[in-house]
Amino acid sequence: MALSGMRGLSVFISDVRNCQNKEQERLRVDKELGNIRTRFKNEKGLSHYEKKKYVWKILYVHMLGYDVDFGHTETVSLISAPKYPEKQVGYIVTSCLLNENHDFLRIVINTVRNDIIGRNETFQCLALTMVGNIGGKEFSESLAPDVQKLLVSSSCRPLVRKKAALCLLRLYRKNPDVVNIDGWSDRMSQLLDERDLGVLTAVMSLFVALVSNNIEAYWNCLPKCVKILERLARNQDIPPEYTYYGIPSPWLQVKTMRALQYFPTIEDPNTRRALFEVLQRILMGTDVVKNVNKNNAAHAVLFEALALVMHLDAEKEMMSQCVALLGKFIAVREPNIRYLGLYCGNCLEENMTRMLLVSDVQDIIKRHQSQIITSLKDPDISIRRRALDLLYGMCDVTNAKDIVEELLQEVICDPHKLSTISLQYLNTAEFAMREELALKAAILAEKFAPDLSWYVDVILQLIDKAGDFVSDDIWYRVVQFVTNNEDLQPYAAAKAREYLEKPALHETMVKVSAYLLGEYSHLLAQRPGCSPKEIFTIISEKLPTVTTSTIAILLSTFAKILMHNHPSDPQLQEQIWSIFRKYESYIDVEIQQRSVEYFALSRKGTALMDVLAEMPKFPERQSALIKKTEDAEVDTAEQSAIRIRSLQQTSNALVVTDQRPANGSVPVSQLALVRMPSQNMEASSTHDQATSQDQINPQDREFSHQNGSVTAVVPQEVHPADLLGDLLGPLAIEGPPAPAVPAEHKDQNLLSTPEATPDAAGPLALATVDDQPNSVQPIANIAERFNALCLKDSGVLYEDSHIQIGIKAEWRSHHGRFVLFLGNKNTSPLVSVQAVILPPTHLKMELSLVPETIPPRAQVQCPLEVVNLRASRDLAVLDLSYKFGTAVVNVKLRIPAVLNKFLQPLSISAEEFFLQWKSLSGPPLKLQEVLRGVKPLPLSELANLFTSLRMAVIPGIDTNPNNLIICATFHSESTRAMLCLVSINLCSSDIRVETDPTDRTQLRITLGSGDPILTFELKECIKEHLVSIPMQAPTPGISPIQPQSPVTPAYNDPGAMLAGLL
């Protein structure tokens, strides 16, 4: 054993080893470093030997984890030493201490180059090794040609050439331009003929990198690769020192098969046949053997062969062979093989999907389901993770129930028999695994739920038993799901009620139960134990044990119970009030505010009804949960192409409505106005027409992407994906209220807080003021905006360079309420602000006081109450004027208090429908018209349009799939009086839209209602939305008093208007 005796180094190492504790070690290390520092300072007396020794000591200290901030110069300078021993130490320590970005490396580039091009073989080796390990871009640029020369040189020995190959690989990774494609494919092909297996192994690594970036250039190398495989696997034509436990260089085999996987197919039949013969040999000839190393090496080759076969669209027979093998691996005891089997199974699953061989393979994999589930219970977390991934991937409607229940068991019952008490000792990886299990169970349950109640059962069970692992996203999602599925609401509420009976309940369960009962307990009122009082009692019992965030939810629940408390139970009311009063002085401001507000609200009597009505449906969007797993997967950066492809597929399959465009500000000229991404706005209008809105506003969207955003009035970031979080989380009051806002407006602010609004858009509606669409052509856009607002309830009505007017509307029977958000975009105040409402005869409208001055960068909110007297399509106009500097601006804006806003979707049964339909006997109660020039829309979008118009599309009544049956009730004060004998406050209007399947530009509409005026007006209203007729005259423009008044109006462009609509 030729150990160079460096006594000083050995002594230092044993000293460090003998240190009793970390502190002693530090002292010893500091002493040594101090010593080295002084020695280095006076370098003259330093021999090469000493330098070497100190440099090694520095490396040792560095390895122990101490920062060494000196000695780099001395280390690097050793590289220039003339003698081998010093040079060697210089190169090796440099490549350990420094990384490629270190400045010191620059000063040695020349020395390194001289060593590479010099005649001394050993120096070449040292230099190539260091550059190969830490060479960066600069090395790449200055050394690549020399390294290439060495690699192809016939005079160089293999030991230099193999280093040159890997060194070039490094340089190529740092800068792919250094390898010139044109010349290289031929050279590469020659290099693959190499007989020396050391060189060939290194060359193959280089080749994999090259071919992964450019397949086209290297087709000529494909047969060579197959030849190499034949040489190794079939002929075993290699020197004995290159066999590893009897296997011809497994590494080279693996690398070669890896390279082959980059070629999409193999065209040449001979090559193909030869390759499949080799692969077949590998598939058949690999057995599990006793010797671990032999086994590992053989299976390394086998798994690579499997991957290659899967890649190459092999014949079915071979495929089934592969799948059978995988089945064997999944069941095997040896953990490495099982791990890889599961991993491979997942790849196969994804691969098969690509090759449309799904059913066969899935069947086979499914046969192993129970074994995979066993692996889910394995003590090894690596294996459990793989099993989870595979189960997640293979889950479909047929096995969802089993798999989800297994996952559930897995989260709930602990395989390591850990009691809840020891949960805190779970290490982070275990914890993360549980969370992932819970998350995936929740996603699968939703995706493949055989029926909705099962979904609710599963999730509630999950929350109940494994609350610690259930992230907030999961329970937000249940709430969202239940809110959007009316049928489910009573069931979910009843379930929540059941859970509350349990003595010990996880806090998340308290949250979700309280929320569900607050919303839907009135649906259970008839059932025993579900009277408001009983619900209140059982929930309030939890109050003392929960944290602040839950208290907030409970308070909202109480407010909602109070609202449903009729016939009024004074005792219950008093109990709830006393709770509100108690929490008025709670330490948390959020809670205080809620209590105060709910208390004040509940004294308003009927106003409470409006404010605390049920939450409307949430816009359909990608489940936050799925997003979460995707993020996690991106996080784990699965690099293989298959992975990436499959990720893309999943995300395409889901409706993603909430990608956010970049929010970068752009410079704006005076005229190019401001807007935030409309995406935000759309996601924020919490109505069930999110998708249709997307279609409605393609132009808006376009703009938003181009313009980015500039700060509007009150910068308030509301991420759409967090919508639910915002709603459920602490009350997000809008930005700082304008100082000049009168007290009553502040009241309004409070009312429009998220919990309190029937329209869940609470904070977002406020945010919409910031999310103002901007108009490059503001006047044309006013029309578009108006049109868009006819179909949705929040958005921007108007904007110019000074002011932004956003509106948010809520509708309840024949009452409506707008909140106008007037935002001053300037840094100086807007004065003489005047707003007058000019209502049409059929609407009673009342605009609350608009303050005369809007302070700089502030917004004021002005509620506008609307009462509908009868059906009419006349429009209300807002006459707004303000002064900015010397300019007086006057605009007249249509208010979207349109006919369809007073509709309410109604779902009725077929019998009832036909009964009503028949009772409406022809004109004027029933009208029919054939519409031509209808914008061609797929049926689904047509249905969406009607949904946006607040009418219910009822499937199943008309058996012809091209017909739509739509139903709604219309609310007005007069019809209430008129139809008082039948029903109060509503008249039925049934519409039949029959479409001619061959021609989508025309359709026949038949509609009827109990009121001839309504029938007519409604027909015209629908027509406006279906046919490309511009709606009335263009909007009243801005009075030309304002000198910089933006752009000429683009009037009368029906195409543009329709585009805005549809």
Partner 1 sequence: MIHFVILISRQGKVRLTKWYSPYQQKERATAIRELSSLILTRGPKLCNFVEWKGYKAVYRRYASLYFCMCVDQDDNELEILEIIHHFVEILDRYFGSVCELDLIFNFHKAYYILDEILIAGELQESSKKIVARLIAAQDTMVETAKAEAGSVSNMIAQTM
Residues 453-512 close enough to bind partner 1 by CB under 8 A = none
Shortest Cβ distance from residue 642 to partner 1 (Å)?
9
Q: Which of 40, 56, 218, 262 lies at the binding interface for partner 1 (CB under 8 A)?
A: 56
Q: 195 exposed, middle or buried (CB, 10 Å; 0-12, 13-18, 19+)?
A: exposed
Decide: helix, strand or coil at residue 283.
helix
Q: Which of 28, 37, 113, 173 lies at the binding interface for partner 1 (CB under 8 A)?
A: 173
Rounded Cα gap, residues 1020 and 1027, in angstroms: 10
The binding track of 712-741 with respect to partner 1, each residue x by CB under 8 A or -, is ------------------------------
Residue 250 in contact with residue 298, Cβ under 8 Å? yes
Residue 65 vs 544, nearer CB to partner 1: 65
Closest residue by Cα to residue 1022 from 935, 930, 900: 900
Residue 167 vs 226, nearer CB to partner 1: 167
Give the binding range for partner 1 (CB under 8 A) out of 234-242, 474-482, 600-608, 692-700.
Answer: 234-242
583 is annotated as contributing to ligand binding: no
272 half-sphere exposure, CB direction, 13 A CA radius: 12
Residue 48 vs 227, nearer CB to partner 1: 48
The binding track of 29-48 with respect to partner 1, each residue x by CB under 8 A or -, is ------------------xx
Residue 434 vs 522, nearer CB to partner 1: 434
Residues 6+ apart with CB under 8 A from 1059: 698, 699
Using the structure block, give the residue that is written with the tokens 């110069």. 73
β-pairing verdict for 887-895 and 247-248: unpaired
**244 lies in the binding site for partner 1 (CB under 8 A):** yes
Using the structure block, give the residue that is written with the tokens 């599961």. 342
**182 lies in the binding site for partner 1 (CB under 8 A):** no
Rounded Cα gap, residues 533 and 517, in angstroms: 12
Shortest Cβ distance from residue 335 to partner 1 (Å)?
4
Rounded Cα gap, residues 512 and 500, in angstroms: 10
Decide: helix, strand or coil at residue 81.
coil
Residue 297 vs 819, nearer CB to partner 1: 297
Residue 258 vs 594, nearer CB to partner 1: 258
Phi/psi-derived region of residue 514, left when phi > 0, alpha when psi is between -120 and 50, beta in every other case:
alpha
Site for partner 1 in 415-434 (CB under 8 A): 427, 429
Residue 223 in contact with residue 188, Cβ under 8 Å? no
Decide: helix, strand or coil at residue 211.
helix
Rounded Cα gap, residues 423 and 455, in angstroms: 27
**341 lies in the binding site for partner 1 (CB under 8 A):** no
Shortest Cβ distance from residue 84 to partner 1 (Å)?
5
**80 lies in the binding site for partner 1 (CB under 8 A):** no
Site for partner 1 in 544-563 (CB under 8 A): none
**380 lies in the binding site for partner 1 (CB under 8 A):** yes
Residue 646 vs 689, nearer CB to partner 1: 646
Give the binding range for partner 1 (CB under 8 A) out of 70-78, 96-104, 267-275, 654-662.
Answer: 96-104
**236 lies in the binding site for partner 1 (CB under 8 A):** no
Site for partner 1 in 1011-1050 (CB under 8 A): none
**586 lies in the binding site for partner 1 (CB under 8 A):** no
**612 lies in the binding site for partner 1 (CB under 8 A):** no
From residue 371, give the alpha-carbon distance in Å to each of 361, 365, 413: 16, 10, 19
Residue 250 vs 532, nearer CB to partner 1: 250
Residue 99 in contact with residue 65, Cβ under 8 Å? no
Q: Which of 34, 239, 264, 450 lies at the binding interface for partner 1 (CB under 8 A)?
A: 239
**17 lies in the binding site for partner 1 (CB under 8 A):** yes
Q: Which of 585, 640, 659, 983 lies at the binding interface for partner 1 (CB under 8 A)?
A: 640
Decide: helix, strand or coil at residue 824.
strand
Closest residue by Cα to residue 373 from 344, 350, 402: 402
Q: DSSP character for 230?
A: I
Shortest Cβ distance from residue 228 to partner 1 (Å)?
14
901 is annotated as contributing to ligand binding: no
H-type helices in 316-448, by residue range? Answer: 316-331, 335-355, 358-367, 369-376, 381-394, 400-412, 428-448
Give the binding range for partner 1 (CB under 8 A) out of 252-260, 501-509, 574-582, 749-757.
Answer: 252-260
**354 lies in the binding site for partner 1 (CB under 8 A):** no
H-type helices in 486-588, by residue range? Answer: 488-500, 507-520, 532-540, 548-563, 570-583
**7 lies in the binding site for partner 1 (CB under 8 A):** yes
**Total of residues contacting partner 1 (CB under 8 A):** 88
Rounded Cα gap, residues 64 and 16, in angstroms: 10
Shortest Cβ distance from residue 334 to partner 1 (Å)?
9
Site for partner 1 in 261-290 (CB under 8 A): none
687 half-sphere exposure, CB direction, 13 A CA radius: 28
Measured between its terminal Cα atoms, the distance across the chain in Å is 84
53 is annotated as contributing to ligand binding: yes
323 is annotated as contributing to ligand binding: no
Decide: helix, strand or coil at residue 942.
helix
870 is annotated as contributing to ligand binding: no
**358 lies in the binding site for partner 1 (CB under 8 A):** no
**143 lies in the binding site for partner 1 (CB under 8 A):** no
Q: 538 exposed, middle or buried (CB, 10 Å; 0-12, 13-18, 19+)?
A: middle
159 half-sphere exposure, CB direction, 13 A CA radius: 8
106 is annotated as contributing to ligand binding: no
Residue 676 in contact with residue 704, Cβ under 8 Å? yes
57 is annotated as contributing to ligand binding: yes
Q: Which of 340, 478, 509, 731 lies at the binding interface for partner 1 (CB under 8 A)?
A: 340
Work out the angle at residue 264's Cα, subtended by the Cα atoms of residues 261 and 266, and round it to the nearest 5 degrees.
90
Q: Which of 132, 778, 829, 896 lies at the binding interface for partner 1 (CB under 8 A)?
A: 132
Residue 85 vs 715, nearer CB to partner 1: 85
Rounded Cα gap, residues 385 and 248, in angstroms: 33
Q: For the stretch 371-391, what's the b/e string if a residue is b when 16 or more beta carbons lie within 10 angstroms of its beta carbon?
A: bbbebbebeeeebbbbbbbbb
Site for partner 1 in 312-331 (CB under 8 A): none
The amino acid sitting at 291 is N
Q: Which of 35, 80, 114, 129 lies at the binding interface for partner 1 (CB under 8 A)?
A: 129
Shortest Cβ distance from residue 357 to partner 1 (Å)?
22
Residue 153 vs 293, nearer CB to partner 1: 293
**162 lies in the binding site for partner 1 (CB under 8 A):** yes
Shortest Cβ distance from residue 256 to partner 1 (Å)?
12
H-type helices in 759-802, by residue range? Answer: 762-768, 778-791
Q: Which of 163, 785, 870, 1025 lies at the binding interface for partner 1 (CB under 8 A)?
A: 163
Residue 638 in contact with residue 784, Cβ under 8 Å? no
**184 lies in the binding site for partner 1 (CB under 8 A):** no
**981 lies in the binding site for partner 1 (CB under 8 A):** no
Shortest Cβ distance from residue 662 to partner 1 (Å)?
25
933 is annotated as contributing to ligand binding: no
Q: Which of 339, 481, 499, 618 lies at the binding interface for partner 1 (CB under 8 A)?
A: 339
Question: Binding site residues, as ranges?
Answer: 7-8, 49, 53-57
